Amino acid sequence: MPELPEVEQVRKTLIPHVVGHKIIRTEVFLDRLVQYPAVPDFIQGTVGKTIRAINRRGKYLRLELGDGFYILGHLRMTGALIALPASAPQPPYAKLKFTLDGDENLWFTDIRTFGTLYLLQDGGSYKVNGYETLGPEPLSKEFTVAYLEPLAHKSRKPIKTFILDQTVIAGLGNIYADESLALSRIMPTRVANTLSREELKVLHEAINKVIAQGIANHGTTFRNYQDGDGKKGDNQNHLLVYSRKGQPCRFCGTTLVQIKVGGRGTVYCPKCQK
């Protein structure tokens, strides 16, 4: 599933292609992609609107249409928003097409078809389950050790489950949770309220570092992720533990182990992480 760095890369790469362009036609090829309003109303509400900006909150993309209207999208597991030349053929797994007034069109493709789109007005985000309860993002001024410490000390969840909670930290997913815990040398199964302030400080710094690295490396691609230009990320070549089960730890050489934490595949170093 695309996480904060991947969605941020999509946002940045789409801007030069679609911002300032008017939606001339909207075609929906999979009705359940559009969660709100009904598909005919979604089409009517987007046609004629100009994409004025693209913002991001956690793993959500927000296409600003002016007059308080915006399209809120979540890529989920395999969704992608791609800008292609108007002359290009329909891409594989296309589920929606915005025909724009320029030389390019905007497509939503999705192999597993879990992606979602909403057409909303200011004040309407309550219609999107979980959006209004998102916690602060890594790298933001709100995401501090002082914010994290009291929440962790009240939690009896494994620390990995705790940091994956989107109400605690918005945008962090399985890849960057494993990477943060590896970098901070913390065992993923440690109960959150057993971490000291110093350990939480190290974890906080690690979360910011791996998210910044993911953004700098244009996201992580293992299978399906691609940015708005249709390009893959490079961060998979810089990971410490994620998807490296059975390989040597980059710090000590110990064989990395995979377990389940909260139902999520989790790779860690049994020597480095305590």
Judged by DSSP in three states, 101 sits in: coil
Q: How many CB atoms lie within 10 A of CB 75?
A: 25
Contact yes or no for 268/178 (Cβ under 8 A):
yes
Q: Which of 3, 6, 8, 137 is catalytic?
A: 3
Eight-state DSSP code of residue 81: E
Q: Which of 2, 5, 138, 188 is catalytic?
A: 2
Q: Which of 56, 59, 160, 244 is catalytic?
A: 59
3 flagged as catalytic: yes
Q: Which of 261, 254, 257, 272 is nearest to 185 (CA)?
A: 272
264 flagged as catalytic: yes
Cβ burial of 102 (10 Å; 0-12, 13-18, 19+) is middle
Contact yes or no for 259/268 (Cβ under 8 A):
yes
Q: Which of 190, 264, 270, 271 is catalytic?
A: 264
Identify the helix (H) or strand (E) that includes residue 257: strand 257-261
The catalytic residues are 2-3, 59, 264
